[in-house]
Amino acid sequence: MNSFKITYADGNITITNMNATIHEATTYYTGTSFNFGDTAAHPRDKMVKVVFVHQIINNLFVSQKNIFANYNIYDENGTWLNTFRDMIDVEEFCKQHQLAMLNNEL
């Protein structure tokens, strides 16, 4: 099970867990609208699109726009740390910086 930070067009953020790779989660969520309405603040439907998906690996956020894109690594403040061509390099980066991976299948 992997953890993902989902960012919406209006700035809302949710954290969710799912059995998916970063590519699968990005494909599933990006561009999809979710309803944040039917509340006191928004009594009608408020459909908001997902604009970005990050995989959370020990306080680091890994993103991939599509299957051919590089993996970008950010810290919890959104500061870019590094870019890699494949997940093996991401795993090596985490080992070198003594960061435990959430699991072996990312």
Higher pLDDT, 93 or 7: 7
Q: How confident is the model at residue 68 (pLDDT cuts 50, 70, 90)?
A: low
Closest CA relative to residue 75, chosen from 62, 66, 65: 62
3-state DSSP assignment of residue 72 = strand
Concatenated DSSP letters of 21-59: -HHHHHHHHTT-EEE--SSSS--S--EEEEEEEEEEETT
pTM for the whole structure: 0.63
Task: Classify strands 47-57 and 33-35 as parallel, antiparallel or unpaired.
Answer: antiparallel
Report whether 5 contacts 26 (CB < 8 A).
no
Q: What is the pLDDT of residues 21-58, one digit of tens each?
A: 888 898 899 889 998 877 787 778 888 999 888 888 76
